[in-house]
Structure 1
Amino acid sequence: MRGIVRLGLQSAVDVMKAGGEPTRLRLIALLAASDLTVTDLTDILGQSQPRISRHLKLLGEAGLIDRYQEGAWAFFRLRQEGEAPALIRDLLRHVSKTDSIMIRDGERLAAVKRQRAERAQAYFSRNAAEWDELRRLHAADDNVDAAIVDLLGGRSIDALLDLGTGTGRILELLSALYRRAIGVDASRDMLAVARANLDRAGISKASVRHGDILNLPFDGQDFDLVTIHQVLHFFDEPEFAVREAARMLRPGGRLMIIDLAPHALDYLREDHAHVRLGFSHQFLSETLMRAGLDVEKVLDLHPSHTGEPGLTVTIWLARDPRLLIAAASEDAPQTLLAGRV
């Protein structure tokens, strides 16, 4: 459980000023529930774009919201980390859920989410046959999901990064375990599907971002679990993606890769843009070790059907071996890093 928020007097006043205006408090409540654009917010609040943009600027200057670009669109959300956002979340808890304005905002937010879901479903429907064909070939999704959860051991996850998040499947699967999560994908269409799925599941502690997993827009050492689910076979040089993922890990953090074992289904190159026809235990284990990680477990999940070629799914779980060594003496409170350079 989080302790009491401690801010300096002026910082506390600044946060209260930023949130202490009706429109801005409504914006904060909306951005605590979903990632939204200025257009979304103008539709919900019925106010002009310049007015909404000005309020968002003030909230950003107060350190309460994050802004991230996705093509021509800018998305906003309530920042998840920090004392200022924690204080404003505490304030939100004291706003009545039966307030008529907040109820109306919630209804309009639900309408925005429905529109998102309809657009995402249209894209999903256009590609459903292709995805269903691939699912038919490999181990059942339920078996893979169960193996992922089992290998993680039920440990709580402070911060999860899902690379190549696709439909947000991993963000949904592990939602009971993490405190916050970010999914990254290069496809804006897939991000729309992921947002719709997170909305449907009521998961507000996860967000998705457009980005290149070979050049991630985050500081390193910020996540205690990074996942790469059925992505590496699209890369000619997956080593670079593994190395970038390893850079994101905190000392002691874990990297989980779920991908295909070596196979001979060459048509997947043309029909489904697969660059690599699976990975051997040796290849990915050596790749992980070269990235400075210790391989802890490797698990194969074979297709359940018989009589036709199928795809085996392999899960690799590796750990950053560095240890945090906290100085015991109050006279030397610094923290030392030992292990991977």
Structure 2
Amino acid sequence: MQFELNNLVDLLKAAGEPTRLRLLALLSAGDLTVTDLTEILGQSQPRVSRHLKLLTEEDLIDRYQEGAWAYFRLKQDGDAAALVRQLLDATAKDDAVLLRDGERLADVKRVRSERAQDYFSRNAAAWDELRKLHVSDELIENQLLGLIGKSPIDSMLDLGTGTGRILQLLSGVYRRAIGIDASRDMLAVARSNLDKSGITNASVRHGDIFNLPLEGQDFDLIVIHQVLHFLDEPDRAIAEAARLLRPGGRLVIIDLAPHSFDYLREDHAHVRLGFSHQTLEDWLKKSDLELLKAVDLRSGKTGSQSLDVTIWIAKDQRLLIANEAAASTPLVASGRA
């Protein structure tokens, strides 16, 4: 971690102001809005916004829009972010100002959690009805952990993150992660769950699964858990996920096997009644992904009360193709004849 003199001075100036250092400390604990930050700091919104603008310009924090709200968080990557984390580590843990900020942050997160829980409670009955039919969450999660393995993952993307359960489940594996969901109510639930779990290396954002607000080739692992059956064009979602995979990256899809519960279309907005192995393999091939494995999980329920689940794991082939091409290229002799 090295900086040119002028760049280092600019970074230190950006971080070396009391309010901005307090902001960086707060944003290291998760995603917050301007409203959250003004409530915690007790300062005017224009003043807080000016400080946030400066920190954004110095590339110390990320800003992303979610409807009418803008969320901010401490940047996860880069030397500048690493320097800020060193500065934060050097602050006294018993500093009165930072302790007070932490207490107010806890109050903000508590209110956020109560709102999220209210939404979850209002919709829990419908989810519980489905959960009684299909494979247990515990079985699915154990299989998922086994397929992914314990090797560290640099970056993960969870599409249709819902309650943020996958972000929680795999928090010990990835260095950084993002969850995307189209429901702002569900994002509130996910943020609350990440707060409760103390997970600060993952964030959630509002987004369209067909047009994700993210740079291509940026993720080593992408998970799409129980989402595709809600979509008119699941193959487009797979293609968009493939766009975001790094060469050699993996895509994991968890969804329902073919079934005949037609009432799920009306009662639970299911568009597709499950997916066959052949259908998923064709869609993966169309997106230049190689199917590595498909695991069928049986619900154990009797006949008409059974919703089985399949886990598909696929791999981006570009790294393999590049290596094969390099191996097949004749070596050019150099040096003395």
Shorter chain as denominator, the TM-score bin is over 0.9
2:151 equivalent in structure 1: 155
SS of equivalent to 1:139: coil
Deviation at residue 222 of structure 1 after TM alignment: 0.2
Deviation at residue 307 of structure 1 after TM alignment: 5.8
Deviation at residue 232 of structure 1 after TM alignment: 0.2
2:288 equivalent in structure 1: 292
SS of equivalent to 2:175: strand
1:159 and 1:178 in contact (8 A); partners too: yes
Deviation at residue 60 of structure 1 after TM alignment: 0.6
- 1:137 correspondence with 2:114: no
User: Residues 35-86 of structure 1: CA distance to partner in whole angstroms, max 9, x if unpaired?
Assistant: 0000000000001111100100110111101111111111000111111111
Q: For 1:305 and 1:235, locate their aligned partners in 2 and report how far apart those are by CA, in whole Å.
A: 26
1:332 equivalent in structure 2: none
- 1:7 correspondence with 2:11: no
Q: For 2:278 and 2:302, locate their aligned partners in 1 and report how far apart those are by CA, in whole Å.
A: 26
- Compared with structure 1, are the counterparts of its residues 85 and 135 closer, same or farther at alpha carbon in structure 2 (3 Å cutoff)? same
- 1:48 correspondence with 2:47: no
Sequence identity of aligned pairs in percent?
67
- 1:235 correspondence with 2:231: yes
User: Residues 82-122 of structure 1: CA distance to partner in whole angstroms, max 9, x if unpaired?
Assistant: 11111111111111111111111101000000000000000
Q: For 1:100 and 1:307, locate their aligned partners in 2 and report how far apart those are by CA, in whole Å.
A: 63
Aligned mate of 1:257, from 250, 253, 256 = 253
1:140 and 1:304 in contact (8 A); partners too: no
2:200 maps to amino acid:
S
- 1:83 correspondence with 2:79: yes
- 1:208 correspondence with 2:204: yes
- Compared with structure 1, are the counterparts of its residues 309 and 325 closer, same or farther at alpha carbon in structure 2 (3 Å cutoff)? closer
2:151 maps to amino acid:
R
1:246 equivalent in structure 2: 242
Aligned mate of 1:21, from 17, 20, 31 = 17
- 1:301 correspondence with 2:297: yes
User: Residues 216-237 of structure 1: CA distance to partner in whole angstroms, max 9, x if unpaired?
Assistant: 1111000000110000001111
2:167 maps to amino acid:
L
Deviation at residue 268 of structure 1 after TM alignment: 0.3
Deviation at residue 324 of structure 1 after TM alignment: 7.7
Aligned mate of 1:61, from 45, 57, 64 = 57
Q: For 1:156 and 1:83, locate their aligned partners in 2 and report how far apart those are by CA, in whole Å.
A: 21
Q: For 1:325 and 1:278, locate their aligned partners in 2 and report how far apart those are by CA, in whole Å.
A: 32
Q: For 2:169 and 2:15, locate their aligned partners in 1 and report how far apart those are by CA, in whole Å.
A: 34
2:333 equivalent in structure 1: none
SS of equivalent to 2:305: coil
Q: For 1:143 and 1:113, locate their aligned partners in 2 and report how far apart those are by CA, in whole Å.
A: 31
Deviation at residue 305 of structure 1 after TM alignment: 3.0
Q: TM-score, normalised by structure 1?
A: 0.93
For structure 1, list consecutive stretches of 5 or more residues without a partner in the other structure.
328-335
2:268 equivalent in structure 1: 272
2:104 maps to amino acid:
R
Deviation at residue 304 of structure 1 after TM alignment: 2.8
1:228 and 1:258 in contact (8 A); partners too: yes
1:232 and 1:259 in contact (8 A); partners too: yes
1:168 equivalent in structure 2: 164
2:309 equivalent in structure 1: 313
For structure 2, list consecutive stretches of 5 or more residues without a partner in the other structure.
329-337
Q: TM-score, normalised by structure 2?
A: 0.94
1:142 maps to amino acid:
E
Deviation at residue 323 of structure 1 after TM alignment: 1.5
1:330 equivalent in structure 2: none
1:69 maps to amino acid:
Q
2:118 maps to amino acid:
A
- 1:184 correspondence with 2:177: no
- 1:225 correspondence with 2:221: yes
Q: For 1:138 and 1:8, locate their aligned partners in 2 and report how far apart those are by CA, in whole Å.
A: 57
Deviation at residue 326 of structure 1 after TM alignment: 10
Aligned mate of 1:105, from 87, 101, 106 = 101
Q: For 1:295 and 1:212, locate their aligned partners in 2 and report how far apart those are by CA, in whole Å.
A: 25
Deviation at residue 29 of structure 1 after TM alignment: 0.5
Q: For 1:21 and 1:304, locate their aligned partners in 2 and report how far apart those are by CA, in whole Å.
A: 60
- Compared with structure 1, are the counterparts of its residues 278 and 324 closer, same or farther at alpha carbon in structure 2 (3 Å cutoff)? closer
Q: For 2:51 and 2:321, locate their aligned partners in 1 and report how far apart those are by CA, in whole Å.
A: 43
Deviation at residue 9 of structure 1 after TM alignment: 1.6
Deviation at residue 14 of structure 1 after TM alignment: 1.0
SS of equivalent to 1:203: coil
- Compared with structure 1, are the counterparts of its residues 178 and 280 closer, same or farther at alpha carbon in structure 2 (3 Å cutoff)? same
